[in-house]
Structure 1
Amino acid sequence: MTVSLAAAAPWAARAQTTPVFVLNSLDANVSVIDPVAWKEIKRIPTGKEPHHLYLTPDEKSLIIANALGDSLTFIDPRTAEVQRTVRGIPDPYQLRFSPDMKWLVIAGNRLNHIDLYRWDGKDLTLAKRIASSKTPSHVWIDSKSTTAYLSMQDSDELVAVDLPTQTLKWRVKTGATPADVFGTADDRHLLLALTGGNGVEVYDVTGKEPRRTKIIATGDGAHAFRAAGDKRHVYVSNRVANTISKIDLQALEAVASYPAPGGPDCMDVSADGRLILVTSRWARKLSVIDTQTRQVIRQVKVGKSPHGVWTLDHAPR
């Protein structure tokens, strides 16, 4: 079911005041979307293959990681104006700041390395480059800012990096083609999406070595996570199944499913939790899903192979 623009606009006018950004990986640009009219208003050129993005700790810049362009593009998250480009960052695929805002961890997807950068509030300084297994994919950092967890997409592994010493702590074999990683608030469990499988692995990471405790069935091609904003649930996109699953982080079970056409990938969630914004990777669209009706209510045309999506007016992460 698709609602009219008139039906969609009241929500947007009430809850959304800043642009929605969608990374078009194969077009080397970013679509800027007006969340009231739900239309693309401009495209911003970036380096080659922008895949993921992250907000700076001061919330003044959105960092676009251009993997094949070996650069970072800084954009104002409120005005969508380019602020600067930082070059000489080899293969920035996926990135994440530590909760204490002192580290920026970058997964080098094609060059098989993990880069640990120190952040002084303005500039990045490379502290350590760690050779990894095949195709580092996604990053999660614990609440204490001591451990970074990364999936190794093509060697089917999960690794842990000790940030204070910048060394590998452990590595463990996983299911097929692990992608995104998500940790529970108490740092006890780690969720790992299996793009080559049909679910999410759960690891207990409280001991010296990780221990897989269960697999949560979600759907074929489980890929990317996004917190629902209620401190209890997380969404995971199932790229092959064309669905999004909602996982209860207390029960560690899937409790709901939503249709998500066109190869759902990265997601963001509206500030009130009502809408899921998800990139439809194979359809060149941003899809908007109503979490109450569990229906797609809007699709916006964007560029080739849309990947990361983000807006400043989002639910708590």
Structure 2
Amino acid sequence: MRREAAFHRVALAVLALAVPGFGARADEAFVTEQVGDGVSVLDLDRGEVAARIPLGGRPAGVAVSPDGATVYVTSTEGKFVSLIDARERRVRASIAIPDTPIGVAAAPDGRFIYVTGFFEPFVYKIDVETLSIVAKGRVGASPSGVAVTPDGRLLAVAARDDDALVLIDAASLNLLATIPVGKHPFGVTIDAEGARAYAANVESDDVSVVDLKAKAKVGQAPAGKRPYVVALAGGRGFVTNQYEGTVSAFDLSTFAFAGKVAVGDYPEGLQASADGKLLYAVDWESNDVSVIDAEKLVVVRKIPVGDGPRAFGLFLRRTP
């Protein structure tokens, strides 16, 4: 049996993919390992695990602060968010969440993080200085992926069981629009211009493209079986397809299929390097990270990690 049972028991830890990071490349990856109950820190130049941080609570979602100093990780069964000192590689604090925390995204100014709770219809706004929840906003049934626009003003949240992408004012957490997309959207990505959001629809096997200014769906791109996360690089979108063990590509202008590459078993987390040359696909069942040449769509390296890696969110970090 695949991990479908665990998928439903922990309500599907999710991704909150954001815009690529801090410089020409990312030097480290913080890979959450849900089964292994920790985070592996990967040295991406060496292609190896440099450190492991135990967390507990079945960690899944991940985000990195804009300055790269802190990594935020949701623990689905523990119902808390851990704040990890990225340089010292230790847990600095934890924040209790009154639900099963799944997706997490960091505000561009570094002051807040936004966390979705899967069983209640809310997104939680957390002040990372006071370590407290300062607001919550209603977003619909089974909120999962969450992403923030580059200007920090808007949140896009996947309301999985409503088959919708929900747009939220980041300051007030007021609901601005509910946009029908494909069936059971999960991972959400916003482009570098803050113009479009991309939702991976796990049960309709496609990607919905939403114009954030118009607050409307403007396109649909093909994906493989059970797409989970979208990454953007070089004029193309890339999707992890869980049930195929592949990453597929589509053209961002025409939404046409643009190729596919086999990776590990049950790929979930996916992010492009800041220069757009590489993709990092996190393979849950084969316990590794596939490093992909984004232009040629070929796997150039496999990096072994711990048990049940997911890395849903912004997991790449530039080192000093």
**Normalised by the size of structure 2, how large is the TM-score?**
0.80
Contact 2:180 2:217 (8 Å CA) reproduced? no
1:253-298 C-alpha deviation (Å, 9 max, x unpaired)? 4433322231111123345544322111122222222335433233
Equivalent residue for 1:117, pick from 119, 126, 130: 126
Aligned to 1:222: 227
Equivalent residue for 1:189, pick from 183, 196, 218: 196
Aligned to 1:255: 258
Equivalent residue for 1:285, pick from 284, 288, 293: 288
Which ranges in structure 2 are unaligned for 5 or more consecutive residues?
A: 1-23
Aligned to 1:92: 101
1:215-235 C-alpha deviation (Å, 9 max, x unpaired)? 11122212112232x5x3332
Aligned to 1:52: 61
Aligned to 2:317: 312
Deviation at 1:182, TM superposition (A): 2.2
SS at the partner of 1:288? strand
SS at the partner of 1:240? coil
* Superposition map of 1:193-204 within 5 A: 193-204=200-211
Counterpart of 1:226, as a letter, is A
Counterpart of 1:286, as a letter, is V
Counterpart of 1:291, as a letter, is A
Q: Give the distance between the partners of 2:141 and 2:171, measured in 1 at CA.
A: 24
Q: Give the distance between the partners of 2:307 and 2:167, measured in 1 at CA.
A: 33
* Superposition map of 1:30-109 within 5 A: 30-79=39-88, 81-90=89-98, 91-109=100-118
1:177-216 C-alpha deviation (Å, 9 max, x unpaired)? 1011223444443221111122111223323xx3323211
**Normalised by the size of structure 1, how large is the TM-score?**
0.81
Q: Give the distance between the partners of 2:172 and 2:84, measured in 1 at CA.
A: 32
Aligned to 2:306: 303
Contact 1:177 1:197 (8 Å CA) reproduced? yes
Deviation at 1:44, TM superposition (A): 1.5
Deviation at 1:240, TM superposition (A): 2.1
Aligned to 1:268: 271
Q: Give the distance between the partners of 2:170 and 2:47, measured in 1 at CA.
A: 41
Q: Give the distance between the partners of 2:52 and 2:82, measured in 1 at CA.
A: 13
Task: Report % sequence identity.
Answer: 23
Query: Max radius of gyration: which structure?
Result: 1
Contact 1:259 1:294 (8 Å CA) reproduced? no
Counterpart of 1:97, as a letter, is A
Q: CA RMSD, aligned part only?
A: 2.7
Counterpart of 1:92, as a letter, is P
Aligned to 1:9: none
Q: Give the distance between the partners of 2:46 and 2:165, measured in 1 at CA.
A: 42
Counterpart of 1:43, as a letter, is R
Number of corresponding residues: 293
Contact 1:104 1:117 (8 Å CA) reproduced? yes
SS at the partner of 1:306? coil
The answer on 1:162 being equivalent to 2:169 is yes
Deviation at 1:156, TM superposition (A): 1.8
Contact 2:64 2:316 (8 Å CA) reproduced? no
Contact 2:72 2:104 (8 Å CA) reproduced? no
Tell which deviates more after alignment, 54-63 or 294-303: 294-303
Q: Give the distance between the partners of 1:190 and 1:36, measured in 2 at CA.
A: 30
Taking structure 1 as reference, are residues 260 and 169 closer, same or farther at Cα in structure 2, changes over 3 Å only?
same
SS at the partner of 2:125? strand
Contact 1:18 1:78 (8 Å CA) reproduced? no
Taking structure 1 as reference, are residues 17 and 178 closer, same or farther at Cα in structure 2, changes over 3 Å only?
closer
Greater RCO (CA < 8 Å, at least 6 residues apart):
2
SS at the partner of 1:307? coil
Q: Give the distance between the partners of 2:51 and 2:171, measured in 1 at CA.
A: 42
Aligned to 1:8: none
